């Protein structure tokens, strides 16, 4: 039987949970996630867990922030005066925007709104979190 290794295209069903058991993502109602091992297409901790599996194998594992979406970085949180926002924008907590800096575009989430200031968070929503995955290697293509 063929073990999953770098360079293989794999198909995986997964359930992603926080350490308290709350599900944040799942492929249960969709096609399996397909990616190439060793290409950095997914977080390192997930990829590491798939290496060595055989089709049909299942596994439960934890992913630390360092092998997931990184630590939360306070320098990625910005406070912006409302007048600096695009005209006509009615900011609300949870709203996602794109910030343009130099030659890059960064997604941010509004985390606080006051009369004068809007707080933007550029951290990935899963940054700083310990993640728990249950996976099944469906196929090695």
Model pTM score: 0.83
Structure-token pair, residue 84: 């600096």
Nearest Cα residue to 13 out of 65, 52, 53: 53
What pLDDT, on the 0 to 100 scale, is given for residue 94? 94
pLDDT digits (tens, 9 = 90+) for 95-141: 999 988 888 888 999 999 999 999 999 999 999 999 999 999 999 99
Domain segments of the chain as ranges: 9-70+126-140, 74-121
Contact 68, 61 (CB under 8 A): no
Domain 9-70+126-140 matches domain 74-121 at the CATH topology level: no
Nearest Cα residue to 59 out of 139, 137, 138: 137
74-121 architecture in CATH? Answer: Beta Barrel (2.40)
Helices (H) and strands (E) in the chain, counts: 1, 9
Contact 29, 58 (CB under 8 A): no
- Domain 9-70+126-140 - what CATH class? alpha beta
Biggest distance spanned by C-alpha atoms of the chain: 62
């Amino acid at each position: 039987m063929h073990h999953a290794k770098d360079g293989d295209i794999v198909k995986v069903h997964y359930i992603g949970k926080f350490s308290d058991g709350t599900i944040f993502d799942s492929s249960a109602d969709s096609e399996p996630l397909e990616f190439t091992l060793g290409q950095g297409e997914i977080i390192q901790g997930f990829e590491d867990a798939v290496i060595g599996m055989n089709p049909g194998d299942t596994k439960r594992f934890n992913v630390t922030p360092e092998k997931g979406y990184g630590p939360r970085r306070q320098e990625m949180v910005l406070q912006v005066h409302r007048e600096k926002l695009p005209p006509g924008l009615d900011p609300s907590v949870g709203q996602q925007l794109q910030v343009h800096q130099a030659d890059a575009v960064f997604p941010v989430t509004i985390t606080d709104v006051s009369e004068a200031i809007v707080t933007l968070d550029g951290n990935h929503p899963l940054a700083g979190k310990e993640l728990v995955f249950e996976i099944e290697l469906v196929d090695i293509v």
